Chain A
Amino acid sequence: MSELSVNHLLGIKYLKKEDINLIFKTADHFKEVINRPIKKVPSLRDITIANLFFENSTRTRLSFELAEKRLSADVINFSAASSSVKKGETLIDTVNNILAMKVDMVVMRHPNPGAGIFLSKHVDASIINAGDGIHEHPTQALLDSYSIREKLGEVKGKKVLIVGDIKHSRVALSNIFALKLQGAEVKVCGPKTLIPKYIESLGVSVETNLIKALEWCDVANMLRVQNERMEISYFPTTREYTQQFGLNKQILDSLDKEIVVMHPGPINRGVEITSDVADSKQAIILDQVQNGVAVRMAVIYLLASKINR
């Protein structure tokens, strides 16, 4: 297979296993490109991409922008804070106005789940979802799986633990879809209040004891507690959360085997993960960031190759 089965990347849910394999294979080539003295290829020189960020982002926005520039695409950036959205413009109007300037592809982060899907039905451009509320964050899940594949050889058959705020995490949902699709075993761990009731229907097991869960896994993906999405209190105090679900060096060293520690960022050091763990050899957090650029280049390249063909 040398072409994606989709025209937009709205979520991992819409991808096939072959799509993920193709993205990874293409990302391998781009990883080599971004380690060259000159880290740029001219493939997308006739493509214009709009980065629409209706929600805050550092890593994802920079990573996308860098990926686009490494592919020689023209890039325009938009953040909701300094735009006409504040004046009452609707999403479709905003995007159609941007598309009127001849934009071929839209990378969008939006606080509302399904915003990307909605947009893909109403506007004529290739859409990449860079996070839609608590729904999906497909490129993050792809780069996480890519990093696991790079570190452990393959994703299939690996035991992956996702710890923390599963309920509000688009990273968790996309990761679950991606990992299951590739044949990994997935377990989630966190306070019961932050684990959705239906989660087992996705083929995921639940464990509330962190030590037991860590002893089971090959990879632990530590998520941030998303305070900004919590309208009510889900656990008594941050200190209590850290005591039960925080990963520190002592716990890590007490395990029988060496596990891989991941974090999608931004890290709240001392809450879900301590500094000595985040900076340890077992943590591949910065590899994830580097792989993020290669994986996003692959996604953009493969989607762009389908525009107007």
Chain B
Amino acid sequence: MSQKMLLNSKEINIILRRLACQLVENHPNFENTVIIGIQPRGVFLANRILQLLEEEYGIKNIESGQLDITFYRDDFRRSIKPLEANKTKIDFIVEDKQVIFIDDVLYTGRSIRSALTAIQSFGRPKEIELLTLIDRRFSRHLPIQPDYNGRQVDAINDEQVKVHWQEIHGEDAVYLLPFEKTEQEVIPQKKDTK
């Protein structure tokens, strides 16, 4: 099975702008709103959204953080691979704040379940919303749905949806690929610039 491109750079750009627009609609000045990128890959999306909010709508200094959910996952000692933690960086208390979780792909919903538990260590938020770029519908294990969604995707369970970002992969794209394929295999070959 070969990889298939679900979204290209242009489509992603349009979607990101729409998502930023929807956020501004519900949070006009982001006064009491904080943006939390879910580690590891939600952080890239969160940064893009923050950048767009600043460039397009002039909303600066939005409180933002990165949340790692490794220690809150429900598959500790159950997953085949050992779980490796990432950095959590939340320099504020979320007590009574409107929190927006940002992650790239919503699949089973278990990561978001873990994030909901993890965020409680930083206070009791007033409300929590979820923004995702890709929603793999029909594959949820838990009753969790996104409030803001880029694109719904139907993928069977042994397929993987992988989001590539300019910052790390050299391109913006979303691929559908067979589960076991490693990251390196789908990184596009850079042209020789000798």
Give a binary string over B92-129; 1 marks a CB under 8 Å from any A CB, 0 the rest: 01000000000000000000000001101111000000
Pair B122/A42 contact, Cβ less than 8 Å? no
Pair B87/A32 contact, Cβ less than 8 Å? yes
Pair A37/B122 contact, Cβ less than 8 Å? yes
Pair B83/A305 contact, Cβ less than 8 Å? yes
| Shortest beta-carbon distance from A205 to chain B in Å | 38
A281 at the interface (CB under 8 A from B): no
- Bound state CA distance, A42 and B117, in angstroms? 9
Pair B77/A32 contact, Cβ less than 8 Å? no
- Given A29-B87, A307-B77, A309-B77, A37:B71 Cβ within 8 A: no
Pair A33/B82 contact, Cβ less than 8 Å? no
In-complex Cβ contact of A305 among B72, B82, B87, B93 (8 A): B82
| Shortest beta-carbon distance from B65 to chain A in Å | 12
Pair A2/B84 contact, Cβ less than 8 Å? yes
Pair B71/A305 contact, Cβ less than 8 Å? no
| Shortest beta-carbon distance from A18 to chain B in Å | 13
- Bound state CA distance, A82 and B77, in angstroms? 34
- Bound state CA distance, A305 and B81, in angstroms? 10
Pair B123/A29 contact, Cβ less than 8 Å? no
The DSSP consensus for interface residues of chain B is loop
A38 at the interface (CB under 8 A from B): yes
Pair B93/A42 contact, Cβ less than 8 Å? no
Tell me which residues across on chain A come within 8 A of B122, comparing CB atoms. 36-38
A226 at the interface (CB under 8 A from B): no
Pair A308/B77 contact, Cβ less than 8 Å? yes
- Bound state CA distance, A307 and B73, in angstroms? 17
- Bound state CA distance, A260 and B81, in angstroms? 39
Pair A37/B93 contact, Cβ less than 8 Å? yes
B187 at the interface (CB under 8 A from A): no
- Bound state CA distance, A28 and B83, in angstroms? 15
Tell me which residues across on chain B come within 8 A of A2, comparing CB atoms. 81-84
Tell me which residues across on chain A come within 8 A of B117, comparing CB atoms. 42
Q: Which residue of A lies closest to B88 (CB)?
A: A32
- B: number of interface residues (CB 8 Å): 22
B138 at the interface (CB under 8 A from A): no
Q: Which residue of B lies closest to A301 (CB)?
A: B71
Tell me which residues across on chain A come within 8 A of B135, comparing CB atoms. none
Tell me which residues across on chain A come within 8 A of B70, comparing CB atoms. 29
B85 at the interface (CB under 8 A from A): yes
A159 at the interface (CB under 8 A from B): no
A304 at the interface (CB under 8 A from B): yes
A40 at the interface (CB under 8 A from B): yes
A41 at the interface (CB under 8 A from B): yes
| Shortest beta-carbon distance from A195 to chain B in Å | 41
Q: Which residue of A lies closest to B79 (CB)?
A: A309
Give a binary string over B36-80; 1 marks a CB under 8 Å from any A CB, 0 the rest: 000000000000000000000000000000001011110011000
Tell me which residues across on chain A come within 8 A of B93, comparing CB atoms. 37
Tell me which residues across on chain A come within 8 A of B68, comparing CB atoms. 29
Task: Name the residue among A38, A306, A308 with the largest chain B CB count within 10 angstroms.
Answer: A38
- Bound state CA distance, A44 and B88, in angstroms? 19
- Bound state CA distance, A36 and B71, in angstroms? 14
In-complex Cβ contact of A29 among B76, B85, B120 (8 A): B85
| Shortest beta-carbon distance from A45 to chain B in Å | 9
- Bound state CA distance, A309 and B122, in angstroms? 32
- Bound state CA distance, A42 and B122, in angstroms? 15
A244 at the interface (CB under 8 A from B): no
A3 at the interface (CB under 8 A from B): yes
| Shortest beta-carbon distance from B76 to chain A in Å | 5
Pair B72/A29 contact, Cβ less than 8 Å? no
In-complex Cβ contact of A41 among B71, B81, B86 (8 A): B71
For the complex of A and B, list the 5 residue pairs with the smallest distance between their C-beta atoms, beginning with the closest.
Answer: A41-B71, A38-B121, A2-B84, A29-B85, A3-B82
List 12 contacting pairs A-B, 8 Å CB cutoff, sorted by A.
A2-B82, A3-B82, A29-B88, A32-B87, A33-B88, A36-B122, A37-B122, A39-B121, A42-B71, A43-B72, A43-B76, A46-B77
Contacts A2-B84, A37-B121, A43-B76 aside, 9 further interface pairs with beta carbons under 8 A come to A33-B88, A37-B93, A38-B121, A39-B121, A43-B72, A71-B71, A304-B76, A305-B77, A308-B77
